[in-house]
Structure 1
Amino acid sequence: MNADIEPSIETTTVAPQVLLINHFKALKLPTFAREYEKVGADCAREGVDYPRYLLRLCELERIDRERRTMERRIRLARFPVTKSLETFDFMAMPTLNKSLVLELARCEWIDKRENVIALGPSGVGKTHTALALGLAACQKGHSVGFTTAAALVHELMEARDEKRLRALQKQLTNVKLLIVDELGYVPFTAVGAELLFEVFSRRYEHGATLVTSNLPFDEWTSVLGSERLTGALLDRLTHHVHILEMNGESYRLATSKKRQQRNAKPNIAAEKGGTNP
């Protein structure tokens, strides 16, 4: 070794903690940077050796990285709100097959590129179920996209006019799970229906699709405008499908009635208390 070579100024004057932080940032190890001193102190107190000290840091880094990745998937899914099955009231929807929903939450149907269709009137929890299954998919490591049928058709037509339709179609095809909510609330033009059909057709046996609708299958023609197109669409969607039938009273209507009943009781009690015998 050449004796004339002097140690770098950086290694002699800069605190090792500062250098460590810089290296952690360069290596994209934020959890190492945040936890290395605390974990080091814990390991020193417990008499833990260096390999186990590094193991603890690596485990923390991996857990934190997986959490950040999952949070990113949830953001990219564009859920209007985040909902889980833990907050779903299965008792209020006896027609819904709970065991099937819980099985779907395991996300094996997504790996198999199958479909789910939730059918039922407004307010029975179709969107809640779709959001919960979408969240479960994100937690299992799948990419998810959420949209309403009307918003999707609008986006497709806008992309067509701006000559970026192919890029949008590719994006919609490649997502592992595409959730299309509220099919049936708004009828589409012939062009809009064809663009929507193209999305479902491209995803056939290529990716999993979840659709919610307030209409039974035999009324989908009223939205798509063509029996031929409706038949072709249902042929693809129902080939590998799990159907969730959700028939019952609207959650929102039931909640509103309960609220009115609760508000009415104090008024009745006040009237009775103020009435002279």
Structure 2
Amino acid sequence: MTVQRTRGLTDQAADAAVDTACRVLRLPTVRTVFPATADAAEREHLSYRGFLAELLMAECDDRDRRRSERRAKAAGFPRQKLLKDFDFTANPALEPAVIHTLAKCDWIRKGLPLCLIGDSGTGKSHLLIGLGTEAALAGFRVRYTLAAKLVNELVEAADEKQLTRTIARYGRVDLLCIDELGYMELDRRGAELLFQVLTEREEKNSVAIASNESFSGWTKTFTDPRLCAAIVDRLTFGGNIIETGTTSYRWATTRGKQTTS
């Protein structure tokens, strides 16, 4: 498509030419903000260079935002859980400063693990998804999965001779979030396959898990003591362990509503 030059055109014709050029060049944000930015530049006597910079920075910022949103969507979170919505007053066992420090993602840059340990209803999944979302928005590749779902996928991949490819796919993401680890017993084969994923990522890319069992209780999930010890080692070495406590926020909220009704 040929775009007509705007020299000597009226403002209306120039606006139409800019609109056409933005479509051709795939600059949707410039196309959207151009009229208002042009009017503001005229009022504020902005230089040509300043006006162009405003338009291009708006396009860059919007592209960064859209990329972040795509990464968050690609992570596969089951629902939206943001850190800003987490009620720290409902769980005094948690230090807000510690969580906000984790949200800066330095541990992901270093490839370190994170363990969120606590009873059901204490906010583990909220924090796991919230920190994963922060990582995605910061530019990291993130993948969320339930522990049982991951193991089932690995077993199916092994049966179909696709295990190496599947493990490599999980190994490439910067942060792998595994939820509900410890909710059900894994047979030896499933535990060994999960161990392979953790080994693939060891000291290279981060793993964050949420579990309702303390490490001493993981022998109920991983029935082989040596394999259990090796998995605990992979998930704790050099990393952060956050204990969310034993008091269920959901139960406390429900009980409070029953009391006030």
* TM exceeding 0.5: yes
Cα separation, 2, equivalents of 1:9 and 1:74: 37
Instruction: Please point out which of 59, 62, 71 is paired with 1:61.
Output: 59
1:208-223 maps to which residues of 2 (within 5 A)? 208-223=206-221
Q: Deviations over 1:55-84 (max 9, x none)?
A: 110111111111101100110111111222
Cα separation, 1, equivalents of 2:105 and 2:134: 7
Partner of 1:91: 89
Distance 1:39 1:98, change over 3 A: closer
1:1-277 maps to which residues of 2 (within 5 A)? 11=4, 17=15, 19-263=17-261
Name whichever of 37-46 and 242-251 sits farther off. 37-46
* Contact 2:91 2:249 (C-alpha < 8 Å) held by counterparts: no
RMSD across aligned positions (CA): 2.1
Larger Rg: 1
Cα separation, 2, equivalents of 1:98 and 1:115: 19
Letter of the 2:224 counterpart = S
Cα separation, 1, equivalents of 2:20 and 2:219: 61
Q: CA deviation at 1:44?
A: 1.9
Name whichever of 252-261 and 80-89 sits farther off. 80-89
Cα separation, 1, equivalents of 2:76 and 2:24: 30
Name whichever of 70-79 and 96-105 sits farther off. 96-105
Distance 1:11 1:205, change over 3 A: same
Name whichever of 138-147 and 204-213 sits farther off. 138-147
Cα separation, 1, equivalents of 2:229 and 2:114: 17
The alignment-based identity, stated in percent, is 38
The answer for unaligned runs of 5 or more in structure 1 is: 1-7, 264-277
Cα separation, 2, equivalents of 1:65 and 1:118: 33
- After TM superposition, the score normalised by the length of structure 1 is 0.86
The answer for unaligned runs of 5 or more in structure 2 is: 6-12
Q: How many residues align?
A: 255
3-state secondary structure, aligned to 1:145 = strand
Q: Deviations over 1:244-266 (max 9, x none)?
A: 01113111111111111122xxx
Distance 1:17 1:258, change over 3 A: same
Cα separation, 2, equivalents of 1:24 and 1:96: 49
Name whichever of 208-217 and 166-175 sits farther off. 166-175
Letter of the 1:225 counterpart = T
Cα separation, 1, equivalents of 2:4 and 2:85: 55
Letter of the 1:140 counterpart = A
Q: CA deviation at 1:19?
A: 4.8
Cα separation, 2, equivalents of 1:192 and 1:107: 30
Cα separation, 1, equivalents of 2:2 and 2:153: 57
- After TM superposition, the score normalised by the length of structure 2 is 0.91
Q: Deviations over 1:178-220 (max 9, x none)?
A: 1101101011122111111111111100101111111111221
* Contact 1:93 1:248 (C-alpha < 8 Å) held by counterparts: no
